[in-house]
Amino acid sequence: MPEKDPLFLPYQIKEKEIHYDASLYLSYWRSGWKKLRANRLAMAALFCLIGLMLMAIVGPMLTPYTYYDTHLQLKNMKPCKMFWLGSDELGRDLFTRMWWGARISLSVGMVAAVLDIIVGVLYGAISGFIGGRVDELLMRFADILHSLPYLLLVILLMVILGPGIFTMIVCITITGWINMARLIRGQILQLKTTDFALAIKALGASRWRILLKHLIPNTLGSIVTMLTLTIPTAIFAEAFLSFLGLGVQAPIASLGTMAHDGLSALRYYPWRLFFPAGCICITMLCFNILGDALRDALDPRIHL
């Protein structure tokens, strides 16, 4: 009797239990990072920003001058060996002043943006979560605030609180949170109807717990993206206010005040405007590029 082909003999499946294999899937953040890395423009923007921030920290330390040292004999000099970016009308080193200014602008911008985000997220989340009349009231209040003329508000605050960094942060924050609030409110409105929110409620969780531990973390993607796009707006707002003379007072420099000073000297000493303005532009550009790229990277529907 012909032997059965050995390939056709029975095979014993070893009881291989199915274990979770982490390598098969990428988490939301890892997948987002991978997509971001593939975007070369975004990576360039990121490195540029890191470079800028490093310079803002160490820049002023690289020179023997401070931002307020005056050298009245050496005013309005072109970029040279002594003053790497030239000097202003009081002989102060522009290089030191610019990076000092960058420090102020960047930190004011980031602090204001973070505050905006915190206020915006909480406001929007609570409004969306409670819903109904409360939601309508809160949103109408935000709408009214949004429609007030910004500059008037700012000037009013300046008068009440006096000029300075703190006031500026308040000014920038006061209307910047509204977009975030609207965005988060929309997401929360949708998230609170999902099954997992119901499931947690069915387990007996308090409303705060549902909101803080379950719903808001699901909006993190939007929050991160919005953050990267709010920062340049805040930086520009600071520069704008300082440019108008409503910001930090001399001799403290911010990029905005430097641009203000540079404007009057534009015809003869154009670098005094170009350097700080250029710094503002590049910073904003990089944040915007990064923010755009982040938005795409964190969207699970968009693939490489």
Partner 1 sequence: MTALLEVKNLRVSFKTNSGNIYAVRGVDFSLYPNETLAIVGESGSGKSALALSLLRLFSTTSVKVEGEVLYRQQNLLTFSEKELGNIRGQEIGMIFQDPMSFLNPTMSIGKQIMEGFYYRKKMTRLAAKEKTLELLHKVGIPRASYVFMQYPHELSGGMKQRVMLAIALAFSPKLLIADEPTTALDATIQAQVLSLLKQLQQENGMSLLFITHDLSLVAGFCQRVVVMYAGKIVESAPVEELFLYPQHPYTKRLLDARPKGDGKLLHEIPGMPPNPRQPLEGCAFLPRCHNPLQICLEKSPPLFSSEEKHHSACWHQDPRSFV
Partner 2 sequence: MNWPLLEVKNLSLHFMDKSPFIKVLRDLSFSLEEKDILGLVGESGCGKSTLAKTIMQLYIPTQGDIVFEGKSLIGASSDTLKEVRKKLQMVFQDPLSSLNPRMTIKEILREPFVIHKIYGNKLQETERIVELLELVGLQESYMQAFPHELSGGQRQRVGIARALALRPKLILCDEPIAALDVSIQAQMVNLLRHLYEKLQLTYLFISHDLMMVRHLCTQVAVMYLGTLVEKAPVEELYLHPKHPYTEALLSLIPQVEPLKGKTKIHEAVQGESPHPSQALQGCVFASRCPKATSLCREKIPALREISPKHYVRCHLY
Residues of this chain that interact with partner 2 (CB under 8 A) are 17-20, 22, 24-25, 27-28, 194-196, 198-206, 209, 214, 217-218, 220
Q: Write down the least CB distance from residue 86 to partner 1, Å.
A: 48
> Which of the stretches 10-18, 95-103, 219-227, 235-243 binds partner 1 when contact is defined by CB under 8 A?
10-18
| Residue 160 or 304 with smaller CB distance to partner 1 | 304
- Based on the shown chain and the rule CB under 8 A, indicate whether residue 34 belongs to the binding site for partner 1: yes
Backbone angles phi, psi at 278, to 5 degrees: -60, -40
Rg of the chain over all Cα atoms, to the nearest angstrom: 27
Q: Is 22 in the site for partner 1 (CB under 8 A)?
A: no
Amino acid, single-letter form, for residue 77: M
Question: Which residues, numbered 201-220, are part of the site for partner 1 (CB under 8 A)?
Answer: none
Q: Does position 40 bind partner 1 by CB under 8 A?
A: no
Which of 195/204 has CB closer to partner 1? Answer: 195
Q: Looking at 19, 20, 22, 25, which residue binds partner 1 (CB under 8 A)?
A: 25
Binding mask 231-260 for partner 1 (x = CB under 8 A): ------------------------------
Q: Measured from the CB of residue 293, what is the shortest distance to partner 1 in angstroms?
A: 15
User: Token pair of 190, please?
Assistant: 């949708």
Q: Quick one: which of 103, 91, 105 has its CA closest to 60?
A: 103
Distance CA 118, CA 182 (A): 13
* Residue 133 C-beta: closest distance to partner 2, Å: 12
Token pair belonging to 186: 């929309």
Q: Mask 165-204, x = binds partner 1 (CB under 8 A)?
A: ----------------------------------------
CA nearest neighbour of 254 among 271, 279, 224, 284? 279
| 67 within 8 A of 276, measured Cβ to Cβ | no
Distances in whole angstroms, Cα of residue 31 to Cα of each of 214, 272, 303, 304: 21, 44, 10, 10
As measured in angstroms, the least distance from the Cβ of 262 to partner 2 is 47
Query: Under DSSP, is residue 75 helix (H, G, I), strand (E, B) or coil?
Result: coil
Element at 175 (helix H, strand E): helix 165-191
Judged by beta carbon, residue 200 or residue 265, the one nearer partner 2 is: 200
* Size of interface with partner 1, in residues (CB under 8 A): 19
Query: Quick check: 20 binds partner 1 (CB under 8 A)?
Result: no
Among 62, 135, 172, 304, binds partner 1 (CB under 8 A): 304
Residue 25 or 268 having the CB closest to partner 2: 25
CA separation for the pair 187, 129 (Å, rounded): 10
Q: What is the DSSP letter of 204?
A: T
Asked whether 255 and 243 are in contact (CB, 8 A), the reply is no
**Alpha-carbon gap, residue 170 to 115, rounded angstroms:** 9
Please identify which residue in the block is written with the tokens 């593939």. Answer: 38
Which residues contact partner 1 (rule: CB under 8 A)? Answer: 4-11, 13, 16, 18, 24-26, 31, 34-35, 303-304
